[in-house]
Amino acid sequence: MSTPLTLRHGALRCEICPELGGSVAGLWLRDVPVLRSTPALELTSVRQSGSYPLVPFSNRIGYGQLQWSGTSHPLVKNFDPEPHTIHGLGWERPWAVLESRENYALLSLEHRADAAWPFDFDCSQAFKLEDGALDMSLSITNQSHAAAPVGLGWHPYFVKRADAHVQFASTGRWEMAADKLPTHRAPNAGLNQPAADLTVDHCFDGWAGTLTLQDSLMRVTVSSALSRLVVFTTPERDNIAVEPVSHVNNALSLMASTGVSAESLGVVVLQPGESYSCSMRIAVQGARA
């Protein structure tokens, strides 16, 4: 197993586990966790990490059936007991370390078509700690001989303290059926409320690109040029997932079943050799700063 990486800058510390899905084990402001955080040497499961990459798609592909270019591709169902394929494959694979410095790391993943995803791609993710912020970027290149659909995003879990307040603006929200797949889009202005009693597991679109989570210890601002945001928490959970993503939940199946365009759902179609990139910034300010 590869050695975890520790990045430091100012009061921020970030620990990364390349071997465990290229995940962030934890992010701390001094010794106070920003993300749901476990020391990297103690982390044994990506599903308990602070954040992991979503590549080459986010959220779910309904019932593990990818419909693309007139062909049905059955995918590995990777989230028992759910019947769907979820969060791509990057979080389940080891990543290679290309570069590592005190406040910067660059990881890579090479994928060749298999039962988890029928298209070849290369992907890189970068982490950089700056003054009061963690910057993260993802880039994917289609290495197949045919056009391929892609999506990118992140799945960070932020600590949800008792007095946490969440705020962001959007224009719509995708409502979901009992099988956790979206049914339709409804107008929605976002959230501006205490997080403690919040129950939400939805994809918001028309996201304005900024979310704030504030409590008595810190103010966290998540920002991205991506226009879709998945938010998940329940009153029983001590964390809130805030996921900037490029496309709507189950977008690839929605394209096939409804005829809605890839562009309107956020699916990026890459020709052979083409690349797509995105970024996310987590800015952290202590309550006394």
CATH of the domain at 120: 2.70.98.10
- Residue 4 above 60 pLDDT? yes
Please report the pLDDT score of residue 288 as a whole number.
Answer: 65
Q: Is the pTM for the entire model greater than 0.85?
A: yes
Please report the pLDDT score of residue 256 as a whole number.
Answer: 84
User: In terms of residue numbers, what domain contains 231?
Assistant: 5-286
Mean pLDDT of 118-143: 98
Please report the pLDDT score of residue 289 as a whole number.
Answer: 47
Mean pLDDT of 219-225: 98
Please report the pLDDT score of residue 1 as a whole number.
Answer: 52
**Sign of the torsion formed by the C-alpha atoms of 209, 47, 99 and 144:** negative
Longest dimension (CA), the chain: 57
Which tens digits make up the pLDDT trace of 147-197? Answer: 999 999 999 999 999 999 999 999 999 999 999 999 999 999 999 999 999
Mean pLDDT of 262-270: 95
- Asked if 9 and 129 touch (Cβ cutoff 8 Å), the reply is yes
Which tens digits make up the pLDDT trace of 200-219? Answer: 999 999 999 999 999 999 99
- Asked if 155 and 243 touch (Cβ cutoff 8 Å), the reply is yes
The token pair that represents 172 in the structure block = 């719509």
Computed over every residue of the chain, the mean pLDDT equals 96
Mean pLDDT of 18-26: 98
- Residue 67 above 50 pLDDT? yes
Q: Give 258's pLDDT tier (boundaries 50, 70, 90).
A: confident
Hey, how many other C-beta atoms are within 10 angstroms of the C-beta on 40? 23
Please report the pLDDT score of residue 116 as a whole number.
Answer: 96
Query: How many domains does the chain contain in total?
Result: 1
- Residue 248 above 70 pLDDT? yes
69 vs 189 pLDDT, higher one:
189
- Residue 2 above 80 pLDDT? no
- Residue 9 above 50 pLDDT? yes
Q: Which residues contact 141 (CB under 8 A, 6 or more apart)?
A: 121, 122, 123, 270, 273, 274, 275
